[in-house]
Amino acid sequence: MAFDIFLSPPHMGGKELEYVQEAFRSNWIAPYGPSINQFEEAMADYIGVADALAVTSGTAAIHLIFRWLNIQEGDLVFCSDLTFIGSCDPVFYERAVPVFIDSEPDSWNMSPVALEKAFRWAKAEGRMPKAVIVVDLYGESADWDSLLPICRKYGVPVIEDAAEAVGSLYKGKRCGSFGDFAVQSYNGNKIMTTSGGGMVLSHDTVAIEKMRFWSTQAREPAIHYEHKEYGYNYRMSNICAAIGRGQLEFLEEKIRIRKKIHKAYVEGLKGLPAYIKEHAQKNYSNCWLNLLYIVDENIAPNDIVVKLQNAGIEARPAWKPMHMQPVFNQPRFFTHDEDHVVDEDVFAHAVCLPSGDGMTELQQQMVITELKNCF
């Protein structure tokens, strides 16, 4: 499907091509090379963690962390329920068992109340999870001051899925620095892209070094090919890293523009039986995607998506919660409230609007006009 206005298309700042040409000139067209190291160092510095490992996707990044945490068949993993499937796919790779945690109504991020319920259940069963995967949803940080103490109390490591929150802050600290391990994604529709890629971030340099080893087929230091462990072919290419370096230099500008788009939507859509989801005071969101929450019960997210589609505008319903996905076949799920499921409510009412930082003001106005026509 071709659209005139896409949800979140790539937008280059200018330096990317220069860095890619540098890679060509030096013939580092491989999953090795100087841009990879430079990109990793620059990202670790920017986020404020000790080390970073550039890989082929955010999903691969989560998989490497699973390996480090020794997640095996039958092990429980607690997961944010309102997320993209990439968050949870590694659960299948290791035949682990997901337990989904509902969101809290304000930020739509993991509910501390539901998380505590899940831990109490696990404790009673005598079966603690090996990890908790917490997503910073649509660029807005999870409530780390509530979630981290719960995970610490039960002694379970935290994987921060900051795939959507590159550049976002929570109380002045960067998303990607809160979990024991964190991941980012640079897929084509994320706020910054390398055409496809991801990063593992951590304060634990020993763990990152081991993941680096696994990500390049676990080759032992020998002249011949020697393998004592199995690995993966997950390392980022030097070409992609060159794009990443340029995108990172452009990131603050991208966030500035996305914040303006967010404001334009908040202002432009006032008075409709719907509103743009705002962010909590303590959160500085990168405004990756804007979500329109529809109050009018006669209008469904799909109605809006189809109407905008007919006008050449790409929109999408909010993530369909994981506990509703057939692939998981009735997984265990803990809710925030007894009689109301927050994630199902979001899925039933919210639409993601075009939010790319390459959008012109005219295009924003076109989306706003079309949206008004929908109501």
Ligand X SMILES: *Cc1c(COP(=O)(O)O)cnc(C)c1O
Minimum Å gap between C-beta 52 and ligand X is 15
Considering the complex, state which of residue 161 and residue 370 has its C-beta at the smaller distance from ligand X: 161
User: In this structure, what DSSP letter does residue 74 have?
Assistant: T
For residues 339 and 233, give the distance between their C-alpha atoms in angstroms, rounded to a whole number.
45
Least distance between ligand X and beta carbon 146 (Å): 19
Provide the minimum distance between the beta carbon of 6 and ligand X in the complex, in angstroms, as a whole number: 16
| CB 163, min distance to ligand X, A | 3
Q: How far is the CB of 89 from ligand X (least distance, A)?
A: 8
Which of 159, 237, 151, 228 is CA-nearest to residue 196?
A: 237
C-alpha 45/C-alpha 352 separation (Å) is 31
Between 36 and 163, whose beta carbon lies closer to ligand X? 163
Q: Which residues bind ligand X (CB under 6 A)?
A: 57-59, 83-84, 86-87, 135, 161, 163-164, 185, 187, 198
Q: Is 326 exposed, middle or buried (0-12, 13-18, 19+ CB in 10 A)?
A: exposed
Amino acid in the structure at residue 58 = G
From CA 335, how far away is CA 333, in angstroms rounded? 7
Whole-number Cα distances in Å, 35 to 42, 49, 51, 169: 10, 19, 15, 26
Closest residue by Cα to residue 184 from 148, 236, 237: 236
Rounded to a whole number of angstroms, the minimum distance from the CB of residue 133 to ligand X is 9
Q: Return the number of the residue (86 or 179) whose C-beta is nearest ligand X.
A: 86
- Between 86 and 301, whose beta carbon lies closer to ligand X? 86
Q: State which residue, 58 or 179, has the beta carbon closest to ligand X.
A: 58
Taking the least distance from each CB to ligand X, the nearer of 61 and 114 is 61
Segment (H or E) for 171? none
Pick between residue 140 and residue 161 the one whose CB is nearest to ligand X.
161
CB of 90 to ligand X, least distance (A): 10
- Our CB check for ligand X shows the closer of 19 and 84 to be 84
Tokens representing residue 225 in the block: 């090919």
CA gap 322, 23 in Å, rounded: 40
The contacts of residue 207 (CB under 8 Å, 6+ apart) are 68, 181
Measured distance CA(246)–CA(193) in Å, rounded:
10
How far apart are the C-alpha atoms of 24 and 13, rounded to whole Å? 19
**Shortest CB 244 distance to ligand X, Å:** 12
DSSP per residue, 207-237: HHHHHHHHHBTT--SSSS---SS---B-BPP
β-bridge mates for residue 183, sequence order: 161, 200
> Shortest approach of ligand X to residue 156 CB, angstroms?
19
Taking the least distance from each CB to ligand X, the nearer of 122 and 212 is 212
